[in-house]
Structure 1
């Protein structure tokens, strides 16, 4: 059994395709169910954010699971294989673990180091747990990824030097609006992205903020949390028309702000031609790109902000501090990946090593029984001395191969080593005696989690 990650993100696909692949909450649930029901998949999680759609699975076979996940992605997103597959990336086993840990740390984000991904990964984990799609392989792995992400933000300066999309957007807005801190701001949506937006606005000293959401209660809660206002969704046109800055992140599947609406709203408020900025942080887009043609209006969406980030890097706006922080996070990730693989390696070999030790103990007892028949007059203390000598010989013979098997290079898969041991010593690692009563010698190791031990019914 191995870990497989299949996905598309801003690294591999244009924003237009990510828009087409964007799923509603119901779509995310459907994708998880379709993948989990596949023949070659035992556990599954779907991570859907504004700039990525990833499926993480525990795979019985690489090619079988990859084909099934690809088919599920096409089925649920409505994209054809020809449209989607050229932009799909695949991470397998060790690379999959490294990718998940890096992702949790924000190293794979559009704005490197942002911490919002931790909340998104936590939500995806909760959804998969509630749906019964996780088990003893993915659940602890994803829990570990969250801990690695928290550790990276706690032990490095990545939070201080990372540039979030919100901060970058406000930076650009300040170049257009006469006084950003005195601007009237409307935030559309009350989800995780909107919460980050409002927190950033308040931290920057911008207090004329109104939150609109289709569910008023959520807008009220977010407004109360940050000491700003909430209003009814029905007043969207009036409030947007009077705003200097509009930030959107609703997750709606259609445009919330169109060119006609904005023209009508600004005219009604006597603000036609006045400076205005819209930051569209949603995918699919909340704002019709045509609004950028209106006099005085500047629009930045995710694609434009990504270009701004690239331009900032090219112009040297990033510093050595950023590189140092990223390097420190990568060191944490590398160490955590190595530790995880070592634990998994030991767990996979545990049944085989237990069987080997059991077989050795049986050989010792058989030889002692034969010795009793040949030397019936052997004194008890002499017999015990022989027993201990035989055990020491066996332990010394087994010590080096067992240690090297558990600590050896990951270039040799634990499954391959286990198979070699089983073939050479004619072992059954899942024999009841070997599993339930392993000899006391050697460190205790947890049994491996694979279908030969637990069956497909573990879903």
Structure 2
């Protein structure tokens, strides 16, 4: 079994494509279900954020898994209308070139997908957890998103030993990156960059009227960042009044009901939108009404949502000179070149060391069931022979029996020590024949013997 990561992010895909993948609230469950239903993966975790959609899977074979995951993603993007991959279609593609097959089965998104396999998948997971692959390099929000993705997969019984181990280790690496380097201090958040761009248009933001549309995690970050930048006249508007009130209370702002949205837009010089809703909440019609009410007074909209909350400029029926719209795509361009290369280098070095450690542990663990089965076989033989000895020599006292038993155990332990130690070393070195398989052959260890000491409960078992 090996690790596979297939996905697309702001590095490889346009905002419109990422938006199409984020429009379905059930996309995570649908993609994971499709991948597991294809019988090409035993575990699957889907990481979905505003800037990426990735499938992490434990797979027995590379080619069919690439085809199945690619099709699941293309269906989620709406580029294919076919159903889930069947065992027949999977078998048919098993011998084809994976890149060609991915292109054929993932129409419309193949050019934007990246594939990471085995060691590369581990390195990618750790890099993502550290924020090095984020639009805002070094941001820590990805840690919570990875933790949530794992929790969802665990609750659904889709994450087993392999992906649990990968994600838990990745989360630890991410925490180390933020605690042992200064990557946090030098990273620029999307919200901060949005405020900087707004200041270019509006001038000093202190004294300006601002509104945050939404009350989720990103909205909380937006409110806190706005307050730190000296914005005191801050309104929070959300469909759930209680959440808006709690967020407003945290910074001394004002909460308004959703029915006041048009009025709030007209009053605000700066609007930060991040609702997480499916579909635009600030349509062109609402923009036009706001422009008319403000009579040409400049206004900036910072859209941090995906799907987008604000109607994109390219969809406007007419120019709106007084409105400046800054979306994730624009922020991504602005963030280029704003990275502290020294801190990135320190985190990259940390990732390199942690990947090597993880792979070493995984290789050692791969031979552990064989070693455990061998020791169990030896212990069983020793126990059987000592029982025979005790039957043949019943006159032996307990002290003598104990000494004989200890001597036999010591002999067996010394005989097994070198081969079991060396097989772990050979596994880590990764060179030469499969020594674990050789041990199984030499000592006649049946597959069921190895399975009995390594198997875990099936997904969903309690």
- TM-score scaled by structure 1? 0.82
CA pair 169-236 structure 1, distance change in 2 beyond 3 A = same
Total equivalences in the alignment: 434
Aligned residue number for residue 194 of structure 2: 169
Asked if 1 retains the 8 angstrom alpha-carbon contact of 2:74 and 2:108, the reply is no
Gaps of 5+ in 2: 81-105, 391-397
Aligned residue number for residue 437 of structure 2: 419
Aligned residue number for residue 301 of structure 2: 278
Q: Deviations over 1:178-209 (max 9, x none)?
A: 32122111111112211111111112221211
CA pair 211-68 structure 1, distance change in 2 beyond 3 A = same
What is the CA–CA distance in structure 2 between the aligned matches of 1:155 and 1:408, rounded to whole Å? 33
Equivalent position SS for 1:107:
coil
What is the CA–CA distance in structure 2 between the aligned matches of 1:416 and 1:282, rounded to whole Å? 50
What is the CA–CA distance in structure 2 between the aligned matches of 1:171 and 1:395, rounded to whole Å? 68
Aligned residue number for residue 50 of structure 1: 50
Asked if 2 retains the 8 angstrom alpha-carbon contact of 1:2 and 1:93, the reply is yes
What is the CA–CA distance in structure 1 between the aligned matches of 2:112 and 2:180, rounded to whole Å? 34
Equivalent position SS for 1:194:
helix
What is the CA–CA distance in structure 2 between the aligned matches of 1:253 and 1:166, rounded to whole Å? 21
Aligned residue number for residue 159 of structure 1: 184
Q: Deviations over 1:285-307 (max 9, x none)?
A: 22222369312222211111111
Q: How far does residue 390 in structure 1 lie from its aligned partner after superposition? A: 7.5
What is the CA–CA distance in structure 2 between the aligned matches of 1:237 and 1:457, rounded to whole Å? 47
Asked if 1 retains the 8 angstrom alpha-carbon contact of 2:17 and 2:77, the reply is no
What is the CA–CA distance in structure 1 between the aligned matches of 2:195 and 2:31, rounded to whole Å? 35
Aligned residue number for residue 304 of structure 1: 330
Aligned residue number for residue 30 of structure 2: 30
Equivalent position SS for 1:287:
coil
Q: Deviations over 1:113-146 (max 9, x none)?
A: 0111112222222222232322333224323322
What is the CA–CA distance in structure 1 between the aligned matches of 2:254 and 2:425, rounded to whole Å? 58
For residues 112-191 of structure 1, the aligned pairs below 5 Å read: 112-191=137-216
Aligned residue number for residue 320 of structure 2: 294
Gaps of 5+ in 1: 373-379, 436-446
- TM-score scaled by structure 2? 0.82
Equivalent position SS for 2:206:
helix
What is the CA–CA distance in structure 2 between the aligned matches of 1:235 and 1:368, rounded to whole Å? 85
For residues 48-447 of structure 1, the aligned pairs below 5 Å read: 48-80=48-80, 81-270=106-295, 272=296, 274-290=297-313, 293-310=319-336, 313=337, 318=339, 322-360=340-378, 395=413, 398-408=416-426, 410=428, 412=430, 416-428=434-446, 430-431=448-449, 447=453
What is the CA–CA distance in structure 2 between the aligned matches of 1:94 and 1:257, rounded to whole Å? 44
CA pair 254-362 structure 1, distance change in 2 beyond 3 A = closer
What is the CA–CA distance in structure 2 between the aligned matches of 1:382 and 1:362, rounded to whole Å? 21
CA pair 166-408 structure 1, distance change in 2 beyond 3 A = farther
Equivalent position SS for 1:200:
helix
Asked if 2 retains the 8 angstrom alpha-carbon contact of 1:4 and 1:57, the reply is yes
Aligned residue number for residue 7 of structure 1: 7
What is the CA–CA distance in structure 1 between the aligned matches of 2:27 and 2:198, rounded to whole Å? 34
Q: Deviations over 1:241-289 (max 9, x none)?
A: 221111111223322223332122221233x2x2221111112222222
Q: How far does residue 160 in structure 1 lie from its aligned partner after superposition? A: 0.2
What is the CA–CA distance in structure 1 between the aligned matches of 2:147 and 2:430, rounded to whole Å? 33
Moved more, 75-84 or 416-425: 416-425
Equivalent position SS for 1:247:
strand
Q: How far does residue 110 in structure 1 lie from its aligned partner after superposition? A: 0.7
What is the CA–CA distance in structure 2 between the aligned matches of 1:214 and 1:365, rounded to whole Å? 70
Please report the RMSD computed on the Cα atoms of aligned residues, expressed in angstroms. Answer: 3.5
Asked if 2 retains the 8 angstrom alpha-carbon contact of 1:20 and 1:79, the reply is no
What is the CA–CA distance in structure 2 between the aligned matches of 1:172 and 1:415, rounded to whole Å? 59
